[in-house]
């Protein structure tokens, strides 16, 4: 729970609750990443997952984009595979590739790798969040987790995948095994998020990055109940729950119904159209195309204004990119976007 009472009154949490805001709040998915020279400096020689287990590094890297950009929220520096490693799954994050799993999950015997997560497995994150909430003052901290489908995809494929064919083969061909895998992941992610909130995170985001590869009917049958279980487990904490995926235009209404307070929208669906699909009971987050930040500033400014205008159709709008910051992005472009949103994003 927030230690600082001003956190509850921040523009970010007000927008998430669909209350009036002094300005449109803005933060960026993957804001704490490789586009910052100060990030590359502190990460030099430290493997990604080791950095994710080191409270001082977690704290410093989480604060870097807040200092540089003046964004309205911090997001915990971590990764979606951290709780998997914490229960003993043998995995690594390979630079330029992503998470790679030593023994992919394809049979019920492989499920043994996924024992329940205990708070004691992730004490490093509790230490980091406690340090962060005092450093951050009135700026809210977002905790996050991978959604069961996106984690299952890495576990079943053994790494990143273009077609998700092994995942779909298991989901369609062995639905009982699939459900058991998803149940274990849902329980684990609920614990992982609860630990973050109890330590001081004042919102959570559930990343279902790759779920856009499914049609709505399959989403409803094979995925939605498990994501709903994770989101429902956070219900009693009172923190806003953001639910995001890529290529999810056809799934937006269902992702809202799964239990989100805020639906994250990628750059393919304009926010006024997304608001029609999601309905009036949820705020929206998004959705400037991260690749558009490589165009000249006039173009970026025009597109930022277009996102603000379309976002005004939603009952609450948190400005963000439509997916994570691309590593080669010029940090000055992001700084200018923050300033423009703060100057012109008046609800």
Residues that bind ligand CP3 (CB under 6 A): 29-34, 43, 48, 75, 77, 79-80, 93, 95-99, 144, 207, 209, 324
How near is the Cβ of 198 to ligand CP3 at its closest, in Å? 19
Least distance to ligand CP3, CB of residue 112, Å: 23
Helix and strand totals (H; E) in the chain: 16, 9
Catalytic residue positions, numbered: 30, 34, 43, 79, 154
- Least distance in Å: CB of 29 to ligand CP3? 5
Quote the CA–CA distance of 174 and 170 in Å, as a whole number. 5
Q: What separation in angstroms does the CA of 178 have from each of 110, 202, 322?
A: 12, 32, 29
* Residue with smaller CB distance to ligand CP3, 10 or 153: 153
Residue whose C-alpha is closest to residue 270's, from 291, 289, 253, 242: 289
Minimum Å distance from CB 99 to ligand CP3?
5
Longest dimension (CA), the chain: 56
DSSP three-state, residue 143: strand
Is the distance from CB of 142 to CB of 203 less than 8 angstroms? yes
State how far Cα 187 lies from the chain centre.
18
Of 96 and 236, nearer to ligand CP3 (C-beta) is 96
Output 222 or 244, the one with its CB closest to ligand CP3: 244
Place of tokens 């950095």: 51
**Residue entry with tokens 């904490």:** 237
C-beta closer to ligand CP3: residue 30 or 103: 30
Q: Look at the block and give the residue holding tokens 């239990």.
A: 259
Cβ closest to ligand CP3, residue 204 vs residue 308: 204
Tokens for 96? Answer: 């330029």
What is 187-237 written as a DSSP string? HHHHHHHHHHHHHT--EEEEE-TTGGGS-HHHIIIIIHHHHHHHHHHTGGG
Please list the residues that pair with 142 across neighbouring strands.
Answer: 75, 203
Q: What is the CA radius of gyration of the chain?
A: 19
Could you give the dihedral angle defined by the CA atoms of residues 307, 310, 313 and 319, in that order, rounded to the nearest 10 degrees?
-10
φ, ψ (nearest 5 deg) of residue 321: -85, 170
Query: Shortest distance, CB of residue 5 to ligand CP3, whole angstroms?
Result: 26
- Residue 251 CB, shortest distance to ligand CP3, in Å, is 15
Please report how close the Cβ of residue 146 comes to ligand CP3 at its closest, in angstroms: 6
- Residue 82 vs 347, nearer CB to ligand CP3: 82
Beta bridge partners of 91: 101
d(Cα 249, Cα 198) in Å, to the nearest integer?
Answer: 33
């Amino acid at each position: 729970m927030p230690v600082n009472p001003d956190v509850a009154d921040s523009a970010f949490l007000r927008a998430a609750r669909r209350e009036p805001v002094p300005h449109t709040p803005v933060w960026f998915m993957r804001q704490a990443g490789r586009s910052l020279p100060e990030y590359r400096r502190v990460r030099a020689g430290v493997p990604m997952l080791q950095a994710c287990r080191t409270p001082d590094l977690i704290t410093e890297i989480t604060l870097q984009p807040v200092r540089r950009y003046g964004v309205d929220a911090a997001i915990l520096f971590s990764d979606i595979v951290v709780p998997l490693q914490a229960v003993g799954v043998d995995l690594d994050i390979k630079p330029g590739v992503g998470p790679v799993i030593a023994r992919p999950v394809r049979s019920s015997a492989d499920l043994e790798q996924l024992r329940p997560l205990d708070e004691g497995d992730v004490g490093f994150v509790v230490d980091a969040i406690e340090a962060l909430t005092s450093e951050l003052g009135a700026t809210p901290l977002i905790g996050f987790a991978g959604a069961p489908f996106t984690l299952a995809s890495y576990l079943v494929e053994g790494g990143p995948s273009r077609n998700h064919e092994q995942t779909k083969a298991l989901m369609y061909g062995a639905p009982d095994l699939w459900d058991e895998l998803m149940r274990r992941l849902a329980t684990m992610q609920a614990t992982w998020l609860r630990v973050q909130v109890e330590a001081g995170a004042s919102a959570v985001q559930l990343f279902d990055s790759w779920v856009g590869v499914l049609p709505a009917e399959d989403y409803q049958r094979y995925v939605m109940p498990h994501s709903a279980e994770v989101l429902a487990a956070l219900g009693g904490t009172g923190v806003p729950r953001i639910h995001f995926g890529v290529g999810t235009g056809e799934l937006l209404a269902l992702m809202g119904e799964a239990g989100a307070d805020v639906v994250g929208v990628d750059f393919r669906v304009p926010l006024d159209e997304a608001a029609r699909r999601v309905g009036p009971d949820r705020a929206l987050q998004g959705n400037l195309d991260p690749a558009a930040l490589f165009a000249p500033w006039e173009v970026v400014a025009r597109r930022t204004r277009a996102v603000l205008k379309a976002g005004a159709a939603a009952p609450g709008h948190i400005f963000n990119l439509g997916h994570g910051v691309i590593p080669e992005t010029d940090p000055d472009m992001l700084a200018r976007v923050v300033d423009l949103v703060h100057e012109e994003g008046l609800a």
